[in-house]
Structure 1
Amino acid sequence: CTMKHNPRINEWGASLPGFSCLHPLQDDDSIQGALRLLYETRTMLEEIAGLHEVSLQPAAGAHGEFTALKVIRAYFADHGQSERTVVLAADTAHGTNPASCTMCGASVETVRTVDGQTDLANLEEVIAKVGAENIAAFMITNPSTAGLFDSNIKEIADIVHEAGAMLYLDGANMNAMVGRIRPGDFGADAMHYNTHKTFSTPHGGGGPGSGPIAVTEVLAPYLPVPQVMMADDGSFYLDRDREKTIGKVRSFIGQFGVLVRCWAYISACGPMGLKNISGTAVLNANYLAARLEDLYAMPFFKPSEGKFCAHEFVTVPQALLDKGVTLIDIAKRMIDYGVHPPTMHWPMQDCLMVEPTETESKQALDHFVDVMRAIANEIFEEIEKVQNSPLESDIARVDEVGAARKPILTFT
């Protein structure tokens, strides 16, 4: 998961009284500044996506998936194709993808990937099995969680469109593409952003979030209301009168405070800054991979042989695990060195998923490398240190199984 620095100026901007003290039921005339910010955020996200129109309503990435799928289903229902109730998803898709489909009353069929790339032959086989007339969309995360960009994406779009369906891009990994590749240009019909990933808004302990969606022109009439619009005289208003809209998916006008932070980050970066975000994120990930590949095996990447990752990489350190440690041991030992452990066992078993993002300095990257190499050396020479870690924290190993089976949810 993209976890980047949250600039303090974003927090300052969101806390300005003109934003933080607004009431959601104020008249449009009295919140022109806020509406202008929302309109500008919307248009910037449209340009970044290369798609026709954006809705800022969804309150999280998965909520964006749900909303976009509702929009797609509304489009097909409006065109007499209500039987399109099947959504295809790559086997590398986020778990929220099939959950969103179920919430929308759609069933899911899985498409196989080979070495991180969508198997085009299998995609066509699944379409033939299900019946093209029954398929609403194909959901793909590109680049994948493994850090692989699916180079077949244009061919995938062509196959999906030939079946009369829509291509949905899970924008969770836009940090690898922002400012360089626009999903609309390679055939995406709809997508969602995770502002807490790509545009530096806080994760906030699980919320609040924001997951704007972008869609093509044919899907735009079905977007949620209200939609922020600009009148001929340059003023801004909330358009609530859209005949084909799916209606409201969030109270009022979305997660406004989060969107203030999103606007601030995009505005501060500008077009070239956004391009530098993705470039630096990819560079940082490959720098780490290149410095660790001799000790931490990587199933898809080997920078020394020209096999590079996108914004993140996964390592399955089997040679270290074979010495008698577990992935948990390695993660716990990282705590002793003051490093927060990365995601484990996702998207593969026994893997660490490493994503430095663009906001880490070379000094921070080098420190991470030094820590990981030190842990590897300890496994070979002082394995007990790793097996008994963390040694420096107030709490060592919690009983995770007991906590899961007999949770204590109160402090009394």
Structure 2
Amino acid sequence: MSQNIITLADLIENVKLGGGSVITSSTELEPAAGPHASVAPAKYVDGKGQAAKSVFVYETRYIVEKPEDQDEPKKEEAKTAEKAVKGKPQTVVLIDSKQSELNRAEAAIEQGRQYGDEAVVKIPRAVVTYQTENGPVEYTDMELSHRVFDGHFRAGTINGEHITENDQYRALRNCTPADMSALLNTAPAALLFGAWDSTRKSNQVRLRSALVGEIIGVLADQERSGEEQQARRSGARVDAVAASVQLTPKDMESLVNDQEAELSDKNISEQRKKIKGAKSGDRISGSALGLGSIPPSVEEIGGVSCRRITRSWVLSLATLRQLRFGTDETKNVAARALLAALGLNAIARAERELYIRANCDLVESAAPVVALDQRFGEKKPFAPLTVEHTDQLLLEAIENAKKAGVADWNGQTFKVEGNPIIIKNAAAEDAE
């Protein structure tokens, strides 16, 4: 593997018109417990209401076999036959989606900010702050779905004035493909991760993400459907005090009243409905309050076995080249290189912590393969991305953009006061 590292010169050269299309990073992963272990893919809701159920997402992908996965005849055939088939369609399961991988990248950048990392603390951001009983709570444009155009920002105020009347926020909403300078210097996350001012009547800012990533697993058995291979999850709860706690309506009401401040509104409503409907001599299970044992049972889908797991990232330089910051091409190039450096830093930070979800512990089985498209079928390999290297690259890009007069990143924060109506009516659980 080449030990060349990506430089700012590489980025500058390839964000110019006609440069390479993408920078990619691809990593082979495997279950931490070994090839025998199943992994828990992401779950999605299929259907609505009572008909809704949790499902995994299966797709057909064209998978190129690794040399070690081929038997000896195939290896010899690949050596001697120019037309040897390199891959074939196979059924895969989506272990982590594009949206989820971006969320992990954004969270990794925010974590770096909390630790005071020199490069990421310089990134401008927008913050909406809600005042709660436990003190102020902040949410940044890297955490909220529509970035700085999210509903939480749009409902907020600045110095007592509704945000849509604020000149700086108006400048963000009025950005056009011809000039994205306002976003670059206030809330650049939108330019890299995508954003949509979806509720505006007209002139909506729509930005596709220049960075995408995912983790997929090739199912172990290609002869059976994904649904046939998925395991079921078993669950149980043991109460060391009592296997069952059956309460009189009066005692249940007393416990609910005592814990009212800690229970969800939905749980309180359900228990009070049971209390009200109870007849003389009835008993109510305390399981809803976490009391008593739950016998072992087989419930929802649990995991699948995979013969191969791959994580991939794509940073689209072609997408960044659609962004302009005025008519000066020198400024355009410097700004695009800055966003590209931020994208590479996001990949490196996301890859550093291979934390997905419960029962989905993975390890790298090989080093990430990083490549820059050089057009006409040519690719230039680079060493795996590291936080240390991409931090330095980002600092250089920040300085270069400052010298070009297009961006001055000094950790500036666009502060918005959250609407108290929203936080007052926020609930921890879905209405369904």
Higher relative contact order (CA 8 A, sep 6+): 2
Instruction: Give 1 or 2 for the bigger CA radius of gyration.
Output: 2
Q: Per residue, is there more strand in 1 or in 2?
A: 2
TM-score interval for Structure 1 and Structure 2 normalised by the shorter chain:
under 0.3
Q: Per residue, is there more helix in 1 or in 2?
A: 1
TM-score (norm 2): 0.20
